[in-house]
Structure 1
Amino acid sequence: MKLLVCAMEASSNVHLKELKKYLNEDIELVGVFDKELGNPLYDLTSLAIMGFVDALKKLRFFFQLRDELVSLAKDCDKVLLMDSSGFNLPLAKKLRVTYPNKEIIYYILPQAWAWKKGRVKKLETYCSKLCSIIPFESEIYNDKNKITYVGHPLLDEIREFKTQFLETNKIAFMPGSRKTEITNLMPIFKELVKKIPNKEYILIIPAKFDDSYIKKIYGDISEFSISRNTHETLKEAEYAFICSGTATLEAALIGTPFTLSYIAKKFDFFIGKMFVKLNFVGLANIFFEKMGKKPLHSEFLQEDVNVENLLNDYKNLDKKLFFENSKFLREYLKNGSSQNVARIIQN
């Protein structure tokens, strides 16, 4: 079987790597994905865009890429689209028009439950099967036969969870992966460590960052030990301070209590509040709200992100209760998704 794949994000390729373990050996991947997984049409590094201006410059390239993928699909048995709705939804539309009977599978769906609900109709129209990683996601879809909750990919990728709460003397810091996130949070984190003495402060830095970039963006990090292994470090840490994002869900699943902090550009935050109608930012808190439970962790946004608030949360959070509640979260998400998605592709 030939499978056309469009996985443009680094995170999507982590999920794709897990998925590939469950695919039959005779399935050939073609399209856009990490070169470690085969022979892609383009290397992922050529697809990276930074900001609106860069996106405009590469607009012609992305139209060309869409047409190339549609042409490739002619000789493929099925199509797998992963995340990246800005590119993959228009691609799905053109694939459906060009090949009305081609099976198009979408894995890691756009978060239409949070904003842009109009994407639901498009997904149902263009795609044959929708693989959801959010338990409540199907509630907003009309065609229940198309959408299936397959589990969550983090439960494939996180190998070990905490079995009990322990004070390990290690505190993890995750200021995000985007330049603005890092430059906004690092000065606060550097002040914070001065208020929490006699601990080992571990700064988790994305593996893709080289030494020169780290020196330029992070500044003086001599107070910190450096880690490139998120899951291992979170498992060893007794507490973490984390920028919003997938990392907060990773910590919640592992069982490491943490504080969520996020500072966005004021205009971006204003626009976000207009369109995203959610009570919480962290996925774990969103899930807990759906379960009818109190929030799992604190969230500090914008001006509320300061040393005093973060320090008070660290001192006052019931860490043992957090650990017990993390078990409920794993039960709620049930299982990993890779094996179920592989089964859907191969059926």
Structure 2
Amino acid sequence: MKLLVSALEHSANLHLAELKKHLPESMELEGIFSAELGEPIVDLRSLAIMGFVDALKKLPFFYRLADRMVEQAADADKVLLMDASGFNLPLAKKIKKRYPDKEILYYILPQAWAWRKGRIPVLARTCDRLLSILPFESAHYPAEAPIEYVGHPLLDEIDRFRGPEESRSTGIIAYLPGSRRGEIRRLMPHFRTLRRRLPEHEARIVIPPYFDAARIRDLYGDLSGFIPVHDTHSTLYESDFAFICSGTATLEAALIGTPFVLAYRAKALDAFLARRLVDLQYAGLANLFSLDFQGRPMHPELLQEDLSVDALLKAYETFDTRRYLQDVQKLRAYLGGGSSVKVARIIMERQAAS
């Protein structure tokens, strides 16, 4: 069986690696994914984009890449799209137009429930299976849409969790300033000052493993006082507390059971547009989930003008760890388990029935 995969982003490839463990060895992967998982048609490093100008320069490259994927789809039994809606949704439309009977599965869906809701009907009519990792997501789709909740992939990938009554002190605080240039540069001044004001703790800073030395120097500046690490899950599990940029790491911390505060500051114009285009009460997924199952957030968020070193310190000093760890258990129960086994079965089931 041939599976055409489009997984452009680092996080999608982590989920794909877990999914691949549950697919038969005879499954042949083709398309766009990490070279560690097979033989892709393109080096993922060539897809990296830094800024608007760079994106414009690379548009012809992405158009050619999409055309190549459409040609590859001719011999594929199924198509699996993962995240990256800017590339994958137009690709899905092209493949469905060329091959109307080709089964397209979309795993890790675009967050159309939060912004650009016009994509929802496009997804519903273009894809044969919409595999959601958010329990509330299907409520935003029409009843006839082929969407189903399959669990959350992080529950497959995290292997250590703190218990509801687990009390310990390691003396470690984790700092996660994100992976994008702007967010790192805007958070690092706060984190450096914060580290100086918490000198009794060991400070570990999580840096993406694919950053080279030159990029680290450029983005992070002076890292004296910090211990650079790459393993997010182990670092969060071993830490008493974490200061985390908005993103997937906030949900990872919540599932593991590490107390944390979400910190984020965007450019003023970006923040202005987001407030008008994005229909969300909170930035963190754990808080959005918590609103759904208990009507209140789990952890503090400091965004834009509310973000300061003093505010970060106050959030750290007043954090209600006991209540948070009880909420963590509710969150895990709410998500219900991992997604990889179920998605693997879905990929195989119609093939077996055909």
TM-score (normalised: structure 2):
0.96
Q: How does 1:164-203 map to 2 (within 5 A)?
A: 164-203=166-205
CA distance in 2, matches of 1:48, 1:212: 16
Native 8 Å contact 2:3 2:30 kept in 1:
yes
What secondary structure is seen at the aligned counterpart in 1 of 2:294? coil
The answer to whether the aligner puts 1:332 opposite 2:298 as a matched pair is no
- Offset at 1:145? 5.9
Match of 1:322 among 324, 328, 331: 324
CA shift in 2, pair 1:114/1:165, >3 Å:
farther
CA distance in 1, matches of 2:92, 2:191: 43
Aligned to 1:59: 59
- Offset at 1:281? 0.4
Q: How does 1:92-171 map to 2 (within 5 A)?
A: 92-144=92-144, 146-163=146-163, 164-171=166-173
Native 8 Å contact 2:124 2:145 kept in 1:
no
CA distance in 1, matches of 2:56, 2:181: 20
CA shift in 2, pair 1:55/1:248, >3 Å:
same
Native 8 Å contact 1:165 1:320 kept in 2:
no
What secondary structure is seen at the aligned counterpart in 2 of 1:191? helix
Aligned to 1:17: 17
Q: Which amino acid aligns with 1:111?
A: Q
What secondary structure is seen at the aligned counterpart in 1 of 2:65? helix
Structure 1 segments, 4+ long, off by >6 Å, are none
CA distance in 1, matches of 2:320, 2:293: 20
CA distance in 1, matches of 2:338, 2:183: 29
What secondary structure is seen at the aligned counterpart in 2 of 1:3? strand
What secondary structure is seen at the aligned counterpart in 1 of 2:244? strand
CA distance in 2, matches of 1:75, 1:143: 32
Native 8 Å contact 1:124 1:143 kept in 2:
no
Q: Which amino acid aligns with 1:293?
A: G
Describe the superposition over 1:14-62 as per-residue Cα deviations: whole angstroms up to 9, x where unpaired: 0000000000111100111111111111111111112221111111111
The answer to whether the aligner puts 1:31 opposite 2:12 as a matched pair is no
TM-score (normalised: structure 1):
0.98
Native 8 Å contact 2:130 2:148 kept in 1:
yes
- Offset at 1:215? 2.0
- Offset at 1:144? 4.6
What secondary structure is seen at the aligned counterpart in 2 of 1:58? helix
- Offset at 1:245? 0.3
- Offset at 1:211? 2.1
What secondary structure is seen at the aligned counterpart in 2 of 1:80? strand
CA distance in 2, matches of 1:28, 1:72: 13
- Offset at 1:216? 2.3
Native 8 Å contact 1:33 1:44 kept in 2:
yes
**Unaligned segments of structure 2, at least 5 residues:** 350-354
Describe the superposition over 1:92-136 as per-residue Cα deviations: whole angstroms up to 9, x where unpaired: 111111111110000000001111111110011110001000001
**Unaligned segments of structure 1, at least 5 residues:** none
